[in-house]
């Protein structure tokens, strides 16, 4: 806080607020649906180059990277935000300004995080802040939904920086008080039940995949999920059938299981698997002699580990102190973000809000309000410089 360069960077976040918002709008106007992040990654990598970052690249998974090298490569801290949104490729990503708000799908989650990456890199470069360790800026792919953290997983387990990262920070969403140091674990499944099908009248008695799916949903819905540690389940999508008077050949559903504790996640996971088997067996037990059995297939389509960066670890303590020094009350919380992956690898990791406020995340009405964005950027800068050290 007493460094002249840091004071200049703080002023930059205030005086250039409008330019930072313009950049935010440029980034979010580039479509980035799941598995369709390339154009946005390309844009961000050009931005990194223009700011003088080194080792700039879009890696084999699609993440875009740029390094600010300090006196030494280590400690190496990753500062990241995710490129992807939850919206399909036919979505209109045009950003609309209405009074003090920006409206667009993904404008907050995680457009404001990406804007923070650029603003931080710009402040460090332009104000001539020299660091002891190095900072690797990363726009990650595949944070949302079926992306299943593929970007951060590649970065930390396979890419050229794997094994070299000492700390990890993700900017995700708005705010200045939240410090996500605990990773919310989840398992996601696709369930498919198939059979021979037939005529609703003529073949009645043939086991019915939709009926079996109904039994399966009913069994899962009866799960006594504990409030503490918070544990949840959701059947988010079901599909299947041919016509009203046909016994269908196929029914599918997608299921999301989450828990704040790994033991509870394993417990609901085991219950779920058993419930699926039992439901299909129940339906098969009703079949006519000689009819073929229904077949059940359960595919794990997503898995996020549970874990935490200790509240008394240097990274979390630094985030707490940085929040307080800016006049905010820090709030530790648990969420499912890119930080889940480094936490599972034993790398200290937190997710911070990037300042400002937002609403209706993951809907087409998503909005972001840049007021107080500078506070989030200042906090982020303090955490990063605190970890890598300033010369």
- Select 306 or 340, whichever has its Cβ closest to Zn ion: 340
The distance of closest approach from Cβ of residue 244 to Zn ion in the complex, given in angstroms and rounded to an integer, is 40
- Select 68 or 179, whichever has its Cβ closest to Zn ion: 179
Give the chain's length. Answer: 391
The distance of closest approach from Cβ of residue 329 to Zn ion in the complex, given in angstroms and rounded to an integer, is 23
- Select 61 or 110, whichever has its Cβ closest to Zn ion: 110
For Zn ion, the binding residues (CB under 5 A) are 109-110, 172
The distance of closest approach from Cβ of residue 325 to Zn ion in the complex, given in angstroms and rounded to an integer, is 26
The distance of closest approach from Cβ of residue 120 to Zn ion in the complex, given in angstroms and rounded to an integer, is 18
The distance of closest approach from Cβ of residue 152 to Zn ion in the complex, given in angstroms and rounded to an integer, is 12
- Select 171 or 272, whichever has its Cβ closest to Zn ion: 171
Q: Which of 291, 298, 299, 297 is nearest to 208 (CA)?
A: 291
**Token pair listed for 156:** 């930390």
- Select 309 or 358, whichever has its Cβ closest to Zn ion: 358
Residues whose CB is less than 8 angstroms from the CB of residue 235 and which lie 6 or more positions away in sequence, other chains included: 217, 220, 221, 253, 254, 255
Q: Which of 281, 294, 183, 301 is nearest to 237 (CA)?
A: 301
Residues whose CB is less than 8 angstroms from the CB of residue 59 and which lie 6 or more positions away in sequence, other chains included: 65, 154, 155, 159, 160
CA contacts within 13 A on the Cβ side of 73: 6
- Select 170 or 231, whichever has its Cβ closest to Zn ion: 170
The distance of closest approach from Cβ of residue 10 to Zn ion in the complex, given in angstroms and rounded to an integer, is 26
Residue 191 contacts residue 216 (beta carbons within 8 Å): yes
Reported as type and span, the H/E element at residue 136 is strand 134-140
């Amino acid at each position: 806080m007493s460094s002249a360069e840091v004071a200049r960077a703080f002023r930059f976040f205030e005086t250039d607020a409008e330019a930072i918002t313009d950049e935010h709008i440029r980034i979010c106007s580039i479509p980035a649906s799941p598995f369709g992040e390339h154009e946005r990654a390309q844009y961000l990598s050009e931005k990194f180059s223009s700011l003088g970052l080194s080792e700039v690249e879009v890696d084999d998974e699609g993440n875009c990277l740029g390094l600010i090298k300090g006196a030494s490569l280590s400690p190496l801290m990753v500062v990241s935000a995710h490129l992807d949104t939850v919206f399909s490729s036919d979505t209109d990503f045009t950003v609309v300004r209405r009074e003090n708000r920006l409206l667009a799908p993904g404008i907050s989650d995680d457009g404001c995080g990406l804007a923070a990456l650029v603003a931080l890199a710009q402040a460090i470069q332009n104000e001539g802040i020299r660091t002891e360790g190095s900072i690797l800026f990363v726009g990650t792919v595949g944070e949302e939904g079926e992306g299943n953290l593929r970007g951060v997983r590649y970065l930390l387990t396979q890419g050229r920086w794997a094994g070299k990262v000492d700390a990890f920070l993700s900017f995700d969403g708005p705010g200045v008080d939240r410090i996500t140091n605990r990773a919310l674990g989840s398992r996601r499944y696709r369930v498919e039940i198939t059979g021979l099908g037939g005529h609703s009248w003529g073949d009645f008695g043939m086991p019915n995949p939709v009926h079996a799916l109904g039994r399966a949903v009913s069994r899962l819905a009866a799960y006594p999920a504990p409030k503490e540690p918070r544990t949840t389940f959701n059947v988010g999508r079901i599909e299947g059938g041919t016509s009203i008077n046909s016994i269908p050949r196929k029914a599918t559903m997608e299921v999301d299981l989450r828990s704040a504790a790994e033991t509870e996640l394993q417990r609901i996971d085991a219950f779920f698997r058993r419930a699926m088997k039992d439901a299909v067996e129940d339906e098969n037990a009703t079949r006519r002699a000689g009819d073929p059995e229904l077949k059940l297939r359960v595919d794990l389509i997503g898995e996020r580990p549970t874990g935490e960066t200790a509240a008394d670890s240097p990274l979390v303590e630094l985030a707490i102190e940085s929040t307080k020094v800016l006049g905010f009350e820090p709030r530790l919380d648990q969420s499912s973000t890119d930080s889940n992956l480094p936490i599972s690898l034993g790398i200290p990791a937190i997710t911070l809000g990037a300042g400002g406020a937002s609403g209706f995340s993951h809907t087409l009405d998503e909005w972001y309000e840049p007021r107080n964005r500078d506070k989030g950027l200042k906090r982020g800068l303090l955490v990063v410089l605190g970890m890598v050290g300033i010369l």
